[in-house]
């Protein structure tokens, strides 16, 4: 059947179609199946990217909470140091002031580091999530023809 149709197509200079309706239907269904598989793969990738972005946002929020906690501890130590400085009754109180100064410096440094790390991680995750969303949206549009 295929040879007769193709010979007829050549001899009539294209008036008879080269491929039959069954062949055309089979080709389009195969192309559709491939496009659907690609769409499913892309949607899975997009879901994974969104999950990674959500986890990174949660980590950033946790780091921010940790930074706030460190700042709160710093304020508390500052108050305690000030209170101890107001009442320098013994040498032990002087030692506590020195210890609280060290703790304050350490807490301040730790809070800055945690906050910086959280901001950097959040920016990095935001950029990668935006790229992944743009890539997957473009690929989905290409396959769906929208």
What is residue 143's predicted lDDT score, i.e. its pLDDT?
57
Tell me the HSE value of 4 on the side-chain side, using a 13 A CA sphere: 1
Report pLDDT for 81: 66
Per-residue model confidence as pLDDT tens digits over 26-65: 999 999 999 999 999 999 999 998 898 888 888 888 888 8
DSSP 108: H
Average pLDDT, the chain: 77
Rounded CA separation 8/1 (Å)? 11
Q: What is the mean pLDDT of residues 5-30?
A: 83
Residue 68: predicted pLDDT: 84
- For residue 119, give every residue at least 6 positions away whose Cβ sits within 8 Å of its Cβ, in sequence order, or none: 60
What's the sign of the alpha-carbon dihedral 101, 102, 105, 108? Answer: negative
Total domains present in the chain = 1
The CA distance from 124 to 1, in Å, is 60
- Are 69 and 115 in contact by the 8 Å Cβ rule? The answer is no
Q: How confident is the model at residue 82 (pLDDT cuts 50, 70, 90)?
A: low
Contact 73, 107 (CB under 8 A): yes
CA distances from 87 to 73, 75, 130 (A): 21, 19, 56
List the domain range (segments joined by +) for residue 50. 2-144
pLDDT tens, position by position, 88-110: 455 555 555 566 667 777 777 77
pLDDT for 76: 81
In 3-state terms, what secondary structure has residue 23? helix
Residue closest to 143 by CA, chosen among 44, 49, 41: 41
Integer CA distances (angstroms), 66 to 29, 82, 118, 128, in order: 55, 24, 10, 24
Question: Residue range 112-126: average pLDDT?
Answer: 75
Q: Give the residue, 90 or 80, on which the prediction is more confident.
A: 80
């Amino acid at each position: 059947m295929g040879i007769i149709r193709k010979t007829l197509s050549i001899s009539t200079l294209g008036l008879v179609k080269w491929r039959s309706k069954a062949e055309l239907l089979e080709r389009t269904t195969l192309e559709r199946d491939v496009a659907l598989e690609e769409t499913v793969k892309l949607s899975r990738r997009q879901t994974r990217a969104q999950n990674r972005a959500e986890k990174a946002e949660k980590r950033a929020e946790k780091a921010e909470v940790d930074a706030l906690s460190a700042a709160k501890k710093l304020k508390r130590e500052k108050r305690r140091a000030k209170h101890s400085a107001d009442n320098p009754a013994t040498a032990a109180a002087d030692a506590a002031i020195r210890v609280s100064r060290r703790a304050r410096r350490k807490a301040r440094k730790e809070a800055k580091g945690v906050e910086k790390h959280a901001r950097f991680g959040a920016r990095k995750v935001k950029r990668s999530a935006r790229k992944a969303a743009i890539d997957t949206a473009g690929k989905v549009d290409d396959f769906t023809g929208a």
